[in-house]
Amino acid sequence: MQRYKVTLMYDGTAFAGFQRQPNKRTVEGVLTQIVNKMAKHPDPAIVVYGSGRTDAGVHALAQVVHFDLPFVIPAANMHKGLNSMLPLDMEITKVELVPETFHARYDVSGKRYLYRMDLGEFRNPFKRNYTGHWKFPVDLAKIRLALADLVGEHDYTSFVASGAQTRTFVRTIYEATCRVDQANNELVFEFYGNGFMYNQIRIMVGVLVEIGSGTRPVHDVLRLYQVKDRRQARRTAPAAGLYLKHVYYQGEDPQHPTKLPPHQR
């Protein structure tokens, strides 16, 4: 068996998320169909494993998956062949032959996400599938103070949607930044951590823009850690603004080389 590591990007607008679901168009479902078609429909069928899920409407600049083939196709041929069959809202950017010990999910040491928030006075119909929208004035200095409170190892219970399948709400955020994209009139948030839970980034962004607009105290994040109450975080930013930017694997980032322990996956 030969294991392949595949990096791909996709526009999440027309997908019901990453994970395969009956009678729904998903990234994993489309990729599984195409991989099996390319391999002439082997029995048993080839299974595709992703680094993690993205929700409906969430985009990826560099999602990672792996799968095994019972025969070897050169990486360059695999890359070209898969892209020739993929729909226009998906594109593979890299194919690698890797050892059978590699696992796209269990070897992850960290993930980096972007969130784009349009600041226009009116909702832009041409950006509705690719940004959130916040029409109120924001103070970037306040947002950056709040971002500093998010960095480190914390219990993020207040920032996780109900239904999260996790044994602990403790995670570590290594970096949390925000800049203004003047050309597009957007806030661009970036988060890098050892793992993020269900809707965590979207809820954090909702809290941050409220802090920036003055409807929350600057250090309200610290209070939310204490109360452990999702309802008090209130807002969840729209899925359309969220992008998976990069998936890190063991040893790729020397400062944070260790994969997520089993109880935090």
Residue 4 CA to residue 258 CA, distance in Å, equals: 22
Distances (CA, A) of 62 to 54, 67, 127: 12, 16, 21
Helix residue ranges, H only, the chain:
27-38, 75-85, 140-150, 200-212, 220-227, 230-233
Q: Decide if 28 contacts 40 (C-beta within 8 A).
A: no
Token pair in block for residue 38 = 């390319």
* 11 labelled catalytic: no
Taking the chain, what is the end-to-end CA distance rounded to the nearest angstrom?
Answer: 26
Token pair in block for residue 197 = 């839970």
Residue from 11, 55, 68, 155 carrying the catalytic annotation = 55
Contacts of 121 (CB under 8 A, 6+ apart): 135
- Single-letter amino acid code for the residue at 199: N
- Binding residue per annotation — 113? yes
Residue 67 CA to residue 49 CA, distance in Å, equals: 6
Q: Which positions are catalytic?
A: 55
